[in-house]
Every structure is written in structure tokens, then in C-alpha cells.
Amino acid sequence: MTDLSDPGFPAPPPLGVSALPAGTFDGEAVFVTGAGTGLGKAIAVEFARLGASVVVASRKPEHLDAGAAAIREVGADVVTAQCDIRDADAIAAAFDTATDAFGLPGILVNNAAANFPSPAEDLSPNAWRTVVDITLNGTFLCAREFARRHLAAGSPASILNVGASYAWTGGPGFAHSAAAKAGVKNLVETLAVEWGPAGIRVNGLVPGLFPHEDMTDDIRGSLDRTHDKDPCQPALRVGERQELGWAATFLASPYARFISGHTLVVDGANWQRRTLTNPPVVPIRDQLGLGPFENTDQVG
């Protein structure tokens, strides 16, 4: 049993405080995918607070508007670029929009991802393909477009891939996302070496549990079934969005110029094993409140 009199990790400094010197990103532009919601928005706002201009890239107009409003609120310049990161041409057009507005962005944050809980056996081929296509292929296509432009220009740059810790542990109920995130994490290592000589750093950033108001209904539902989230973390609390923003801005900053090929996990040690044996096994269908598997594809 968790002793709730234990203090756990203290709360972080409040939202709005920056970890890096003011103006660290003056004159720079950062391209953030999925910056209109949740953690992408929090990361983008932290760059903006430190002087960066921001490109908010995603599919839905309401998300683009929300991201732009959040950046303007902290007094930074922003442009939105509607694109589906599964579409290489749309990504190229988004980088054109960004470059017209601010010059070629020096930082890319590959934050956009897709996810919903499902037992693996229930996933249709298209459901699997959709999550892998957005999370892994989309991340690669954005990195490729960004790097090609910097390689041609001979300019240094920095890429951050947002991951998830089930890249290492596996993710029951999230087979598609966990497999895709394992690919995203592996890309960090390969691309850091391939593009290092050209001055392009590539790092990963893995959030632990960071609940926020924009979570999709599916993810929120899964989270709501997980009781007592705070005492289930070694830190005895979940993450606060500014903690991710500080980590992201550090990794992309001049103070991290010798860091590349690294994935930083910001999760209060939640993914490490903490007992000699694990808790009792609860089948994933039971965790998701589902009945027995029925193969509706079977004929006869």
C-alpha cells in the first residue's frame, strides 16, 4: 500500500515560469505538429514564451485556431498550416507556408500522434494502419521534409520526436500506438547519426501521464477507468504540462548542443518496474470492460 503521508515529488514551479533565459529563441521559428491541443500546445507556448515564432500544424481548423490563440496570448508571432502528416505533399506545403512567414524554422517538434484503446485482436487492418501511418510514418515524413530543406540550405537544426514509454514496455490495449512509438524512438537514434554531420540534432521526449482537457474521449475514458492515478506513480503525482515544455525547450536550446540521439523520459520514474513481481494480470478485454472476442470476420 502507498503510504499517502509520503510527500512524493514536490509540485513544479508554476505555469508561466521559464527554465531558460528570456529570449533564448529570439529570431527562431519552431514548427510544432499537433500544437492546437494538449501537450503540443503546451510545448509550443513554452517556445513562444522564450521568444520563438510558432508554426501550428494539424488537420482541424478549430485546433489550429486554438493553438494560434494560445501563442498570441503570450505575445509571440504565429502562423497556422493545415496539413495531415500522412500526406507528404501537404507537409511540404506547410513548410512553404512556414518559410514564407518566418524563414525556414530551425526546430521541428514531431508531437502529433493518433491513438485509441483496443484489444489487439479487435483492430481492423485499417485501424492498425491509421495509427501507424499518423504516428510513425507522419513523424518520419515531417522529419524528412525538414531535414531535406536544412541539408540543402546547410543550416543547423533540431528535431524533437514525442514518444511514449510503452515503446520499451509494450502497451496492452495500445498495440498499434506502442509499436509505432517504438519506431519513433528508434528513428531518433538513426537520424541523429545520419544527419549529425550536417548539424541537425535529433532527440526524443517521452511524457509520462499528463492528463489535459483536450484528451480524446477514448483516451479520457481509459484514463477514467484508471483509479487513483497519483498514488500509482512513484512521484505520487502526474505531470504538469509546463514540465514537458521545459524539457522540450531545453533539448532544442543552445544549452543542449552536444545532446543528440537521446530520448528524455519525463514521467517521475513511472515506467520502471517497482516490485519483484508485477500486480495480478487482468486481461485487457476486462480492463476495457469488453466481453469475449467474437470473430465477426469468420464466415460459416
Give the β-pairing of 29-33 and 107-110: parallel
Question: What is the separation of C-alpha 298 from the centre of its chain, rounded to a whole number of angstroms?
Answer: 37
The answer to whether residue 255 is catalytic is no
Long-range contact pairs involving 51-54 (C-beta distance under 8 Å, separation at least 24): 51/22, 51/23, 51/24, 51/25, 51/26, 51/27, 51/76, 52/25, 52/26, 52/28, 52/76, 52/107, 53/28, 53/29, 53/77, 53/78, 53/79, 53/101, 53/102, 54/29, 54/30, 54/78, 54/79
* Binding test (CB under 6 A) with ligand NAP, winner from 162, 167, 248, 284: 162
CB of 184 to ligand NAP, least distance (A): 8
* Binding test (CB under 6 A) with ligand NAP, winner from 76, 94, 209, 284: 209
Q: Which of residues 164-193 bind ligand HXC (CB under 6 A)?
A: 164, 177
Q: Using CA atoms, how far apart are residues 61 and 80, in angstroms rounded to an integer?
A: 9
* Binding test (CB under 6 A) with ligand NAP, winner from 8, 9, 18, 59: 59
Q: What does 188 interact with, of ligand HXC, ligand NAP, none (CB < 5 to 8 A by kind)?
A: none
Residue 113 within binding range of ligand HXC, rule CB under 6 A: yes
Q: What does 40 interact with, of ligand NAP, ligand HXC, none (CB < 5 to 8 A by kind)?
A: ligand NAP
C-alpha cell belonging to residue 163 = 514518444
Residue 60 within binding range of ligand NAP, rule CB under 6 A: yes
The edge-to-edge listing of strands for the beta sheet with 29-33 is 78-82, 53-58, 29-33, 107-110, 157-162, 200-207, 263-266
Residue 127 within binding range of ligand HXC, rule CB under 6 A: yes
Site string for ligand NAP, 251-290 (x = CB under 6 A): ----------------------------------------
CB of 247 to ligand NAP, least distance (A): 12
By rule CB under 6 A, what count of residues binds ligand NAP? 29
Residue 36 within binding range of ligand NAP, rule CB under 6 A: yes
User: Do residues 66 and 189 make contact, with C-beta atoms less than 8 angstroms apart?
Assistant: no
User: Do residues 223 and 229 make contact, with C-beta atoms less than 8 angstroms apart?
Assistant: yes
CB of 218 to ligand HXC, least distance (A): 5
Residue 143 within binding range of ligand HXC, rule CB under 6 A: no
7 burial level (CB within 10 Å; 0-12, 13-18, 19+): exposed
Beta bridge partners of 288: none
Q: Which is nearer to ligand NAP, 24 or 110 (CB)?
A: 110
Residue 84 within binding range of ligand NAP, rule CB under 6 A: yes
Q: Using CA atoms, how far apart are residues 43 and 241, in angstroms rounded to an integer?
A: 8
Residues that bind ligand HXC (CB under 6 A): 113-116, 118, 124, 126-127, 130-131, 164, 177, 209, 216, 218-219, 223
Write out the catalytic residue numbers: 166
Q: Which residues contact ligand NAP (rule: CB under 6 A)? A: 33-34, 36-40, 58-60, 63, 84-86, 111-115, 134, 138, 162, 164, 207, 209-210, 214-216
